[in-house]
Amino acid sequence: MGNNAKPFLKWAGGKSQLLEKFSELYPKRLKEHKITKYVEPFVGGGAVFFELSSLYDFETVVLNDINDELILTYTVIKSNVEELIDYLHRIRSEFLELDNLEEKSEVYYKVRNEFNQEKKHIDYKKESYDWIRHAGNLIFLNKTCFNGLYRLNRKGEFNVPYNKSKAPSIFDEENLRQVSKALKNAILLKGDFENVAEYVDENTFVYIDPPYRPLNATSNFTDYSKEPFNDESQIRLAEWFKRLAEKGAAVMLSNSDPKNADENDNFFDDLYREFDITRVQASRAINSKANGRGKITELLIRSED
């Protein structure tokens, strides 16, 4: 409690802009400090976790994601934050000393290529200096790529182009230290969302932020990993949500609102009909066209008030 860590990555679907609205809708038991565990099966950029870690002392925190690089980076920040900061200082200094965008672009694509090559041989189960470099390269690419988007091609390679920024911030040294403190006692897991089930009981708050269901063909930003998250996955997740609620856990889930595109689309209204569904206003965080970043509604689904 009292930690002021913020997300260290820009992540598609990040919740920073919605935290104030979320604070009104968190379960009553959490606000009354009756919850002892916090579990997040799709941690992503971690905005909700960092916000809650500043407000509550949880006995147990479990953070999971299917993205190898993301969990590796959280682990490095947790265990080797000073070594990571040293690496980021070096790569940032070299990058910012370059005179023109062409040179910066060359460095970006060199790092991107190294990152993709590392993905093929890195041992995700055994910590090494390779982890520090790989985590540092992810942070560098995230802050210098187009729109901070994490996207993989069918070969599992990161393929987002350079954003042509002259002086990107890349990292905040003090914030990384705060993130490390927030993660000190967290259990970090990599894999399918059901990985966390064994940690959930009646004293748990579970916040679920899955890859959003696309509103249309051009807004599909679910490619956080090679594995697709389709309607079948959304249905499996809804069934799991119900099982967690039956365990007595307080469960809250975010997703896109299909009614933004089709007022007759009741996909989520039907899936979660026995739960509380609230529509909250949000801005599109990632869209290639500036005029596509208007206000839309998103869904917040809760098992209890």
Report which secondary-structure segment, H or E, holds 120: helix 101-121
Q: Residue 294 has what pLDDT?
A: 66
The pTM is what? 0.92
Q: Residue 286 has what pLDDT?
A: 44
Q: Residue 182 has what pLDDT?
A: 97
- Beta-sheet pairing, 204-208 with 37-40: parallel
Could you read off the pLDDT tens digit of each residue along the chain, which spans 305 residues?
Answer: 668 999 999 988 788 889 999 999 999 999 999 999 999 999 999 999 999 999 999 999 999 999 999 999 999 999 999 999 999 999 999 999 998 999 999 999 999 999 999 999 999 999 898 999 999 999 999 999 998 889 888 898 999 999 988 778 899 999 999 999 999 999 999 999 999 999 999 999 999 999 999 987 554 444 455 567 999 999 999 999 999 999 999 999 999 999 999 999 999 999 999 999 999 998 754 444 444 456 899 999 999 99
Which residues contact residue 119 at a Cβ distance below 8 angstroms, ignoring those fewer than 6 apart? 68, 69, 134, 156, 157, 158
d(CA 198, CA 207): 15
Q: Residue 226 has what pLDDT?
A: 55
Burial 24-59 (b: 16+ CB within 10 A, else e): eebbeebeeeebebbbbbbbbbbbbbbbbbeebebe
Q: Residue 13 has what pLDDT?
A: 78
Q: Residue 283 has what pLDDT?
A: 78
Q: Which residues pair with 256 in a beta bridge?
A: 298
Hey, what amino acid is at 266?
N
Q: Which residues pair with 63 in a beta bridge?
A: 40, 188
Q: Residue 225 has what pLDDT?
A: 53
Residue 147's Cβ-count burial label (10 Å; 0-12, 13-18, 19+) is middle
